[in-house]
Structure 1
Amino acid sequence: MIDIKALQCWVTLVQNRSFSATAEKLALSQPSVSKIIHALENDLNVALLQKGENGRKRQVLPTEIGKRVYEHSLQILNQMSLLKQEVEDYRELKLGTLRIGMSLLGSRLLTPAFFNFHQQCPDIELAFIEAGTRDIEAALLDNRLDVGQLLLPVSDKFDYIPLCDYPIMVLFPRKRLAKIPASMSLRSLRDESFILFSRGFVLFERVVNGCRDQGFEPNVVCCTSQWELLRDMVAKEMGIALLPSYYTDEFDDKIFAAVPLTDPAINWSLSMAWPRHKKLTPAVKAWLKVIREEFSK
């Protein structure tokens, strides 16, 4: 039976063209390298090295069949490396924690993915941090998170998988509108009281900056990170809210009217992102595989 260590020795010898360099690289003595190569030749019943001049001393050059043995050895060693990596990946998936940063509006999107991941990797603990895009970005770069939801567009420091793209809707109490318009411009809301998602979050910034671009400062009466609270405050006629259609589509149309925001249109576009140059763990790879499958539907 051919020894894997013998193939490794043969590959190293061909690549280095030197018994002494091969011995040093493999932490062996020179006689041990010669013995291993000689044993490999006996096992294969062929000469792997060309004979020296007048047959007295062999050069460190492979014969024709030696070259073919070298190519096959490379393939075998590569397959062994892949096998070891797969086994190691499997072991790593039997323990550990996957740290996920979730947008305060985006956690519901991931529920099916969490279930599928747990079915495939039941021994991996899921640890969540709920925060805004800015905080999730910082935590990803500081290695406090493995992956996280970020609003698009993302920085070139990250790779990402798109998750969703929903328009932002203007949410009114239904009884305020005798006729629901097809859309509403941001400028038309200048006299309204705004109930917005929390200060310091990207969605808040986009709305406020959009208002300023239209020439007015929004009258913000309340900020909260809870979309249910925004909805309930609108129902109590405290003001209007701006929420993605992902949420407003579920609201009772007898109580609420949700109208697309235009001029400018603002979209809620989320991604699952991770640092571009970070080596991905098996758990992260498994999670991203689930995400691709779930969000390509």
Structure 2
Amino acid sequence: MEIRTLRALVEVVRQGGFSRAARTVFATQSTVSKAVKQLEDELGLRLLERIGHRSRLTEAGEIVYRRALTILAQADDLKIELEELRNLAGGTLRLGFPLIGSNTLFARWFAAYRSRYPDVDIKLVENGSKRLEELVLAGELDLAASLLPISEEFEWQEVRREPIDLLLAADHPLAECDTLAFEELADMPFILYGPEFALNPIILEACRASGFTPSVATQSSQIDFIIELVAAKLGVALLPRLIAEQRPHPLTKRVAVGHPAIYWHMALVWRRGGYLSHAAQAWLALAGSPEVYGG
């Protein structure tokens, strides 16, 4: 079993077909197809079902794909560790940041790191927590910011824990309340986040615990747009307090919500048992420094 055949399988799955995978690995479609066929012959099992121009994993393929991700990530770790052993100049830090809150949580951190380690090449990916976790497990990111709770596949370091507040139209009958219980929101249409956001499961679980499934007016990955939709009385939204405080709107009102109280609990995560580069360790070591938090 060779790394190249495993990588071919992984890219076919990621890219949704052989032609796109070929472009990703800088090979011909025939080369990628032969690599996957070689892997299937070696294992004696069919790994992919060809459906038109697309390919789908078989049950055996699912198992091999998951294992391949781990093997490829470990191979990448080995290369990074050996490069650092050779004292290559600078090194690279591969970071994943969330789509919301990064300006507050990581802008000063980023600047402090750049000041201390100017020769480190920082590669930044911005996406929802779910996708960032996938990239960490695949070995494509060293560290990523994600919301707790997280899978046991990760180790983590806490960054910040913020209450999640309700945002509703300023003239809503409940806008003058100091606090609201989740059960009081049962008849309100909700404006949720895009599917890549880890906030959605937290909100939906609090609704279920309060005995209802919310009606969803719409979903968006843009915080400012969500706030404008609340102001336009399309529904209510739930935002981390620090995000809501940064974006006051004259036509909305922020109210604390509890019973159950829910939190935006952000952490930096990395693959459990994976190699953590010196560049990544230096990033984690900056936590709590005056440069980052202005102390």
Q: For residues 90 and 232 of structure 1, what CA distance do their matches in structure 2 show?
A: 53
Match of 1:97 among 92, 97, 106: 92
When structure 1 is superposed on structure 2, of 220-229 and 199-208 the one drifting more is 199-208
3-state SS, counterpart of residue 171 of structure 2: helix
3-state SS, counterpart of residue 167 of structure 1: strand
Letter in 2 for 1:131: N
Aligned to 2:110: 114
Aligned to 1:256: 252
C-alpha contact 1:106 1:149 (8 A) present in aligned 2 = no
- Within 5 Å, which residues of 2 pair with 1:78-227? 91-92=87-88, 94-108=89-103, 109-177=105-173, 180-227=176-223
Q: For residues 287 and 90 of structure 1, what CA distance do their matches in structure 2 show?
A: 21
- Within 5 Å, which residues of 2 pair with 1:234-253? 234-252=230-248
Aligned to 2:268: 272
Q: CA deviation at 1:89?
A: 7.4
- Within 5 Å, which residues of 2 pair with 1:22-61? none
Q: For residues 209 and 227 of structure 2, what CA distance do their matches in structure 1 show?
A: 26
**CA radius of gyration, larger in:** 1
Query: Can you list the C-alpha shifts for 1:118-153, whole angstroms capped at 9, x where unaligned?
Result: 111112222222222222222111101000012112
Q: For residues 215 and 253 of structure 2, what CA distance do their matches in structure 1 show?
A: 20
Distance 1:160 1:282, change over 3 A: same
Distance 1:89 1:235, change over 3 A: farther
Letter in 2 for 1:138: E
Q: CA deviation at 1:114?
A: 0.6
Letter in 2 for 1:106: G
Gaps of 5+ in 1: 1-84
Letter in 1 for 2:133: E
C-alpha contact 1:174 1:256 (8 A) present in aligned 2 = yes
Q: For residues 271 and 256 of structure 1, what CA distance do their matches in structure 2 show?
A: 29
Query: Can you list the C-alpha shifts for 1:17-40, whole angstroms capped at 9, x where unaligned?
Result: xxxxxxxxxxxxxxxxxxxxxxxx
Gaps of 5+ in 2: 1-80
Q: For residues 161 and 176 of structure 2, what CA distance do their matches in structure 1 show?
A: 23
Distance 1:178 1:269, change over 3 A: closer
Q: For residues 262 and 96 of structure 2, what CA distance do their matches in structure 1 show?
A: 23
3-state SS, counterpart of residue 110 of structure 1: helix
Q: CA deviation at 1:177?
A: 4.4
Distance 1:269 1:296, change over 3 A: farther
C-alpha contact 1:99 1:147 (8 A) present in aligned 2 = yes
When structure 1 is superposed on structure 2, of 271-280 and 252-261 the one drifting more is 252-261
Say what the alpha-carbon RMSD is for the aligned residues. Answer: 2.4
Query: Can you list the C-alpha shifts for 1:55-77, whole angstroms capped at 9, x where unaligned?
Result: xxxxxxxxxxxxxxxxxxxxxxx
C-alpha contact 2:92 2:122 (8 A) present in aligned 1 = yes
When structure 1 is superposed on structure 2, of 152-161 and 106-115 the one drifting more is 152-161
